[in-house]
């Protein structure tokens, strides 16, 4: 059902100073209409933030002048890098009319009701100050509780940017800045890898309103970098690319005229495509290039070469790096074997594998496993599977003796 124009107009207020019907003050009637649709019951994620240091006390009309001094805190620069990318879109919409159904500005007041912080609505405040003659604005008002800190307030500001449409979602760069500030201000303290990782993931989810998933390579890498920084010790190796893995391995796995070493990520569905890319590239080298002496580049025709493949796992999950190591590599080996068996026995006429393309092992990226396999070395698939089956049963559950020491 589409709202009629007449029904919609009940919520739209003209505020652009060049409009003939523009208002200069919001009224108690406007506030009542706003609260009928935007309140604790309809939008609890806006108001229930006591855990992060703020108690909601009510939505009120507050004078423009009383908010201005709070802008000098620079709080918005702690949770947003640069100007709001949706500034012009928000401005254009406001010039058409102010929608009373949308979020109010959000402020923190002291015990004397003086505005200390404007933590959500900086963009709208700036726009209103330029396009309207308003002398007041609707604000959700909060007071500080025992959990309050400026770093947490910046986190809340990031959260509000993501949930109060149309003000613009919080970007990954914004979130990294927020978390770095929480660590710097000791609001996020390292206890152990698992706790630290879970807290950062919780904050990412809160600040992005769940729009940024925490089980991704770039999040794992960010958390791993933070752990390394606060502990002074590298716990895992985050592999950006296969090239970075081969760089770490150095001359131990050096190409020869008859064999090329490559590293690929643990995604079974991408292996054949990457091998095809290698083949086409090597074919081009064999036809067109005369490399400098001792460059390490060989022009052998790819049909006369073999490829030794080392699988890497990208960035290990810092909250469960050992388990992630075993689960991720085992899933890859299992899936790859299944695909290869299907291709050679079912999809194509039964044929014999050339044995020119072979997975020789997995890259050891977890420092905790150093006593079993040296950190940043290659573990053969046979050795890996032997250790995996010592630790996990056929359903992938940890065996009892490992559960006791986990």
- Does residue 349 register a pLDDT over 60? yes
Cα–Cα distance, 275 to 358 (Å, whole number): 11
Please return the burial class of 28, using the count of CB atoms within 10 Å of its CB with bins 0-12, 13-18 and 19+.
exposed
SS3 389: helix
- What does the DSSP 8-state code read for residue 345? I
pLDDT digits (tens, 9 = 90+) for 137-190: 999 999 999 999 999 999 999 999 888 754 556 889 999 999 999 999 999 999
Q: How many CB atoms lie within 10 A of CB 51?
A: 11
Structure tokens at 284: 């081009």
Considering the entire predicted model, what is its pTM? 0.79
Of the ranges 43-52, 74-83, 89-98, 116-125, which one carries the lowest mean pLDDT score? Answer: 74-83
Q: Are 47 and 40 in contact (CB under 8 A)?
A: yes
Phi, psi of 136 (to 5 degrees): -150, 170
Whether the predicted pLDDT of 281 surpasses 60: yes
**pLDDT for position 402:** 53
Inter-residue contact 288 to 160 (CB < 8 Å): no
Where do the structural domains in the chain lie, given as residue ranges? 5-214, 242-405
The DSSP symbol for 215 reads S
> Could you tell me if residue 209 is left (phi over 0), alpha (psi between -120 and 50 degrees) or otherwise beta?
left
Residue 50: DSSP 8-state: G
Q: Is the dihedral of CA 315, 317, 322, 327 positive or negative?
A: negative
Q: Would strands 357-363 and 378-379 be described as parallel, antiparallel, or unpaired?
A: antiparallel
């Amino acid at each position: 059902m589409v709202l009629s124009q007449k029904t919609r107009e009940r919520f739209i207020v003209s505020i652009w100073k060049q409009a003939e019907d523009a208002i200069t003050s919001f009224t108690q009637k406007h506030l009542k209409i706003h609260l009928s649709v935007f309140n604790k019951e309809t939008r609890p994620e806006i108001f229930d933030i006591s855990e992060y240091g703020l108690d909601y006390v009510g939505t009120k009309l507050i004078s423009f002048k009383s908010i201005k001094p709070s802008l000098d805190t620079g709080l918005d620069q702690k949770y947003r890098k640069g100007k709001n990318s949706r500034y012009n879109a928000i401005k254009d919409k406001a010039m058409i009319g102010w929608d009373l159904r949308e979020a109010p500005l959000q402020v923190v007041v002291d015990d004397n009701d003086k505005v200390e912080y404007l933590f959500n609505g900086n963009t709208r405040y700036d726009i209103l100050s330029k396009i309207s003659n308003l002398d007041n604005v609707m604000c959700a008002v909060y007071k500080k509780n025992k959990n309050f800190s400026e770093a947490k307030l910046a986190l809340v500001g990031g959260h509000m940017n993501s949930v109060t449409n149309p003000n613009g979602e919080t970007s990954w760069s914004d979130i990294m800045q927020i978390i770095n500030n929480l660590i710097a201000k000791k609001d996020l303290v390292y206890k152990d890898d698992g706790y630290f990782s879970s807290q950062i993931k919780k904050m990412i989810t809160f600040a992005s309103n769940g729009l940024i998933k925490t089980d991704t390579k770039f999040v794992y890498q960010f958390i791993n970098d933070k752990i390394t920084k606060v502990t002074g010790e590298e716990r895992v190796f985050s592999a950006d690319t296969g090239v970075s893995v081969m760089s770490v391995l150095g001359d131990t796995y050096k190409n020869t005229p008859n064999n090329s070493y490559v590293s690929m990520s643990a995604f079974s569905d991408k292996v054949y495509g990457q091998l095809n890319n290698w083949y086409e590239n090597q074919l081009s080298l064999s036809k067109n290039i005369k490399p400098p002496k001792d460059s390490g580049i060989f022009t052998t025709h790819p049909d006369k070469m073999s490829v030794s493949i080392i699988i890497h796992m990208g960035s290990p999950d810092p909250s469960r790096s050992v388990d992630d190591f075993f689960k991720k590599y085992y899933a890859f080996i299992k899936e790859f074997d299944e695909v290869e068996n299907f291709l050679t026995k079912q999809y194509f006429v039964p044929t014999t594998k050339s044995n020119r393309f072979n997975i020789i092992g997995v890259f050891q990226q977890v420092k905790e496993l150093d006593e079993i396999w040296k950190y940043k070395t290659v573990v053969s698939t046979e050795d890996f599977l032997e250790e995996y089956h010592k630790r996990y049963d056929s359903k992938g559950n940890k065996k009892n003796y490992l559960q006791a020491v986990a």
